[in-house]
Structure 1
Amino acid sequence: MSDDAFDEFSFLPLQSADLGLDGPVPRAERLSLELPDGRTLSALRFGDGPPTVTFLHGAGLNAHTWDSTILALGLPALAIDLPGHGDSSWRDDAAYVGPALAPDVAAGMDAWTDSPQLLVGQSLGGLTAAAVAAQRPDLVRELVVIDITPGIDPNGGASQIREFFAGPTDWASRDELVDRALSFGLGGTRAAAERGVFLNSRVRPDGRVEWKHHFARIANALAADPEAAAAASARQDAISSVLSAGGWSDLAAVTAPLTLIRGDHGYVTTDEADDFEKRLPEASVVRVPTGHNVQEEIPGELGRMLRQRAGKG
């Protein structure tokens, strides 16, 4: 079946059954917003009422990473494709950092929500959510950041993702992408990996398969050009120091209640979590038995936790 003929929400009934949920799945639709510079921001909206919870995914993922969590949540929700991911436009400047992405996310929330949100962001989405909450406090009722802090060690668990992206830019089939994901310990079961790959890739006119997100193209170009990689590494070191300070400044500026949820074998170490608590003593820290992609590994538990924070538990 071609991508054009496939319903991107066709996986929801099986995901709902896997969670042991009763009743019909919520109505879901794809949204699109033209940004002032002509780029497109895309999102998914679930449920019949105005969203009360908005979700931002991590680097290299897309809004569908939240599908099972939103099913378990059981509330109207919005999941945004960050720029450079999913069906949102790539950025020409490749500035995929929270403060640069926040204005686009805020534009989407202005267009698609009508009240302050429980804003939930994982990894890159967590840093972006912090920037949104700092820049536009009127949009955020409460902030939940998942398995990320501004001071996270880039040579720790996150290096696995960089290595994963640094493969070819196109593939003969989606099965090759599934095999690669599983070889890196990503994706969970093969069925889950197949679903994730389908929703995060596209077939080009020449029949080759490529990731939807921009990161694979960037990582591959750096891997193929040592001089460019060295220059990018130097730039990244400089950017990381600035972003670390900026990220902490964003979190310190958040006036809404703030919670860090981290996996006990995720990317945030115990020392990094302790640093978070020292810098932000009013925030809460919750440790859960999972890895970095909490929303994919324990979506039912996460959905129930977020429902309680939304005041519906």
Structure 2
Amino acid sequence: MQEPPIDDEFRFLAGDAARVSRTAPLPEVRRVDAPVSQGRRISGLWFEPDRAPEPVLLHGAGLNAHGFDPTLLALGRPALALDLPGHGRSDWREDADYRPDLLAPDVALALDALAPGSTALVGHSLGGLTAILTASARADRTRALVLVDITPGVVPARDAGSVAEFITGQRSYADHEEIIDRAIAFGIGSSRESLARGIALNTRRRPDGRWEWTHHLAHLDGLPAGGPDPADAAAGAAVGTESPLAPLWRPLEALHNAGLPVALIRADAGMVDARLADEWRDRLPGSPVRTIAGPHNLHEAAPRELASVLGELIGSV
């Protein structure tokens, strides 16, 4: 069988399907995009584009929509995975500001164009924070909200420091093997095969022959932080008493109190520890908390397990 060309972005799907033991034929996956603010466009991947997506998935900082490919092949439902602004094939912001309160309006506009009906929102890390505000803006069209290894209680400087250093601490690499070695050293993953796939879909070769990340964050000095009110975020960071993301508890609690099914999936070796999980239960009583063995990027390390839990959480709503 002839190997797919190196520039075919779907060349890993067959291997992804085998990895998650999918026996059904590969679904059609289509690259789609939609206009958002300031003349920019958001891009995404539509699994089974002849059917309305059931979940919409938002990835974390420095990642892209393809990271969810194995999980969605295991889930086996029509779905839409978006590239956040500044990531994947979505346009970069001129102001280079990727806080969730600025990302959410663009995501909502993209969903108005691509998925105007009712959907479940699933967000990992930065995508989870963005999903909170997107769900608030689309409360009448959101069936459920699932956050993956993130809560507004996370303190980025403490809980995500290694992720930030991995993304922004080195700007170029001699080859993909150097990137894989660095990812393993930072605890980003342990499977060289899985990491190689993700890196191939998230890097580009520079004119000088070295490799760099395609997302905008790798070209900046730091990752986005702070909730919808920068003043609140700065105050929280200054006194050191709460996460700068703490203002996001307000819209999340409002969604929960209004009856929206809200759930948390945490990685046992990720950013949401037992203390943060307990805070979630205290603030959102009765909302499910599920734990999966693996690192922060569960969709890459444990896609079958993540798909199983997602199917349970969004299957009845």
* Partner residue in 2 for 1:224: none
Residues paired across the two proteins, number: 300
Output the CA distance in 2 between the equivalents of 1:139 and 1:201: 35
Change in Cα spacing, 1:302 to 1:251, as seen in structure 2 (3 Å) is same
Q: How far off is 1:285 after superposition?
A: 1.4
- Long gaps (5+) in structure 2: 224-232
More divergent stretch after superposition (53-62 vs 43-52): 43-52
Pick from 285, 301, 304 the counterpart of residue 305 of structure 2. 301
- Deviations 1:251-279 (CA, angstroms, capped at 9, x unpaired): 01214210011112211121111111111
Output the CA distance in 2 between the equivalents of 1:281 and 1:89: 38
- Long gaps (5+) in structure 1: 222-232
* Partner residue in 2 for 1:278: 282
* Partner residue in 2 for 1:288: 292
Q: How far off is 1:236 after superposition?
A: 9.5
* 1:61–1:85 contact (8 Å) kept in structure 2: yes
Q: After the TM superposition, which residues 214-233 of structure 1 pair with which residues of structure 2 at under 5 Å, given as runs? A: 214-219=216-221
* Partner residue in 1 for 2:129: 127
Q: After the TM superposition, which residues 1-313 of structure 1 pair with which residues of structure 2 at under 5 Å, given as runs? A: 6-47=7-48, 48-219=50-221, 237=237, 243-254=244-255, 255=258, 256-311=260-315
Change in Cα spacing, 1:150 to 1:208, as seen in structure 2 (3 Å) is same
**Matched AA of 1:36:** S
Change in Cα spacing, 1:234 to 1:106, as seen in structure 2 (3 Å) is closer
Q: Secondary structure at the match of 2:26?
A: coil
Output the CA distance in 2 between the equivalents of 1:236 and 1:83: 26
Output the CA distance in 1 between the equivalents of 2:117 and 2:34: 18
* 1:187–1:196 contact (8 Å) kept in structure 2: no
Q: Secondary structure at the match of 1:290?
A: strand
Output the CA distance in 2 between the equivalents of 1:202 and 1:239: 41
**Matched AA of 1:110:** D
Output the CA distance in 1 between the equivalents of 2:20 and 2:148: 21
Q: Secondary structure at the match of 1:264?
A: strand
Q: Secondary structure at the match of 1:289?
A: strand
More divergent stretch after superposition (63-72 vs 5-14): 5-14
Change in Cα spacing, 1:220 to 1:303, as seen in structure 2 (3 Å) is closer
Q: Secondary structure at the match of 1:141?
A: strand
**Matched AA of 2:248:** G
More divergent stretch after superposition (121-130 vs 240-249): 240-249
Q: What is the TM-score normalised by the length of structure 1?
A: 0.87
Output the CA distance in 2 between the equivalents of 1:101 and 1:192: 28
- Deviations 1:37-74 (CA, angstroms, capped at 9, x unpaired): 11121111111412111000011111111011100110
* Partner residue in 1 for 2:226: none
* Partner residue in 2 for 1:227: none
User: Sequence identity, in percent?
Assistant: 44
Change in Cα spacing, 1:167 to 1:130, as seen in structure 2 (3 Å) is same
Output the CA distance in 2 between the equivalents of 1:30 and 1:286: 31
Output the CA distance in 1 between the equivalents of 2:234 and 2:112: 36
Q: Secondary structure at the match of 2:143?
A: strand
The two structures, once aligned, show a CA RMSD in angstroms of 2.6
Change in Cα spacing, 1:198 to 1:238, as seen in structure 2 (3 Å) is farther
**Matched AA of 1:122:** H
- Deviations 1:266-299 (CA, angstroms, capped at 9, x unpaired): 1112111111111121422122222211211211
Q: How far off is 1:170 after superposition?
A: 2.6
